[in-house]
Structure 1
Amino acid sequence: MLSWVPLLTVALLCWIFSAGQPYGLPIAVWAEDSSSLARQLVRMLDATPGLSVRAQLLSRAEAQQALQRMDVYGVVHIPPHFARDVQRGGAASVTLLHNAQLSTASSLVQRDVRQVVGTLSAGVEMQAMAKRGTPAQALQVRLEPIRTQLVALFNVSTNYEQFLAATLLPALLHILAMTAGAWSVGRELRDGTLGQWLGAPAGEAQAPARPSAAQVLAALLGKLALPLVSLWLCGMAGLVYLSQLRGWAVAGSLAWIALGLLLLIAVSLAAGALLAAGTLSLRQAMSGAGLLSAPAFAFSGVGFPLLAMSGSARTWAEAMPYTHYARLQIEQWQMGAPPAQSLPVIAVLLLATLVLLALATAALLRAWARPQDWGKR
């Protein structure tokens, strides 16, 4: 759990998002018009890289079944007399039925279908205007007199490998690190070996003299050192792979990201150790580690906007160390922010690590004086 398993999960995440963008999302067409214009629309839909027309449906019931079975992400309905209405200068509607519960696929299908229908509509209108004698150079201006210019500053290609893979890797390591911290300390309590670990002679349940805080802290740091180095190296292997071999160059400082990742793992290990030392139970510590670390990505603001959360949810999000690390990584990797802008995040993570280590040390000293609680799960 500290060596090849984290490395395997890092590789698995990189492989999952290696495609970058979803292509060929399956859709179906329910065409009640067999005109050449309707067939042209179907061809254009199938030619779009993001879509793949998998079925031609004949009825509303077939469309409903295809969506409910999740055979397709959407059904495009071409109504009767589609071409006739267009040729007469009237309005013709193309309806997209989609499963909005699958938000990512739904938004991508909506975008591509809207672009295809808009392109076809613009072509029909330009042909009609040309037949009415409108000069070619004036067609585009008349068709779209007001334009919207969208400028994407970061992640221009909207690539999910750059967006999700790079942020999910630290979230995974956050979970593993907090679990490792809870397990490392909690196992000493479960096995009744806390006294031997903290300095008691072998074969004795408790040391003759109470250890100092410095001795307990040294023992704790020694126990957490191996998970810290191992998990940090696994995380850096994944980030270096994405930045160097996959071409997602870091706009800011990779060293700053590496330092932030090291502190994220350190604070996670310290939090797990505190859970075990404070509860005196490996079972409760592991449960607490899962409760705190598993939803960290959901509250980080990467998936759901942080500014759109309720006050209580945002307070919880700000209390999670991963939220701050995610901000640092986005600032340095994609935005190219100056290191000084990310300095408060480094300071917060470092301070949290020191505070949690101090609390864990105090909790271990308290546990030292309660040998009757050793050996419990």
Structure 2
Amino acid sequence: MSEKQKKNKIQTLLEILFTSTKLGLTSFGGPIAHLAYFKDEYIDRRKWLDDKTYADIIAICQFLPGPASSQVGMSIGMLRGGLLGGLISWLGFTVPSIIVLIVFAMMYQTFSLEDAVFIHSLKIVAASVVLHALIGMGQKLTPDKPRIAIALVAATIMLLFPSAWMQILIIVGAGLLGLRLFKDKAESKVQPFSINISKKLGVASLGTLISLLILLPLLNRMSDNPLLNIFDIFFRVGSLVFGGGHVVLPMIEREVVPSGLLTANEFLAGYGMAQAVPGPLFTFSSYLGTMMEGVTGAIVATVGIFLPSFLLIVAALPFLNELRKRATFQGILMGVNASVVGILLAAFYDPVISSSIFSTADFALAVILFGLLNIWKIPAWLVVLLGVIGGYVIQFIS
């Protein structure tokens, strides 16, 4: 590698670190909102990917267990800067909330932030961001009546029967329907993306994941090492949970509270704080690890819960380019992408609207923030700041 290539590589990695850290400091509102923030920053502003590639990556990540928004962020980092770019993208997006939750655990007190004005303001910001994403994705991913119908049916089913397993069934069903309806609409020329990860490494990554799932419980039974126990618990949860951050919480609760690793009150206090910070909800593991075994426990728990996602993305990306060229796979993705719009529409109502808009003042603030995002194209991080200020103004005048 020449000096110029090395310099360009370093500049690319620094750009990934700067951008992902900015998102890690400002991306409030949960996984659906995160995807909206990503689209605004990575796709609309920086043009790192085209809309179709971004939609395809979201569709793939929806199929995989683990935190979908973190997986999308890792994927974008890998496409931009290889394996190291994926790691740096994850660190930038995740470390800010890790630090906050570790500090909170170390200063644990019995207080609640649930009714704080700034928390409620951030939920209103999330509503505006999700609506902005919903409109943008809907225009591109549901351009005809059959795909609009898939989206509406998906939204209806999710609203009536909300669960992680139902979401998986909807995605699988939409994929099968897409295979039947849309394979003849496949594009003959799909814009390829460059990925510096070999198929051999992808297979090895999947093999590593499967091996750890088998070996870790066996090693844990033969040892009384608390750090190994923490890693086993969080790696298993990160490998097997579908549906994102909110679904992971009851799974972890069943692992740590009945066994006496944490009390129910300690668990709930950390859950409340995890809702208040930007970045992925899976960083709740940092709080839990700190409560169990200090900062070392936090590092072990955090690596444990996110490592499966990294291994799965490395396994999937090398094959995505080839699959996207096939008419049958394109048809499946068209159906899946339409269902993702429907799932986003359902999430826009519950939990986004149902937990954020409680008054006409809340609605007015959400409309203003949406206008700033959608019409005046104000950066998402600035909308977050203005939303918090607006929340305090509403409290002052009401």
The TM-score normalised by the length of structure 2 is 0.27
User: Which structure exhibits the higher relative contact order, with contacts defined as CA atoms closer than 8 Å and separated by 6 or more residues?
Assistant: 2
Normalized per residue, the structure richer in strand is 1
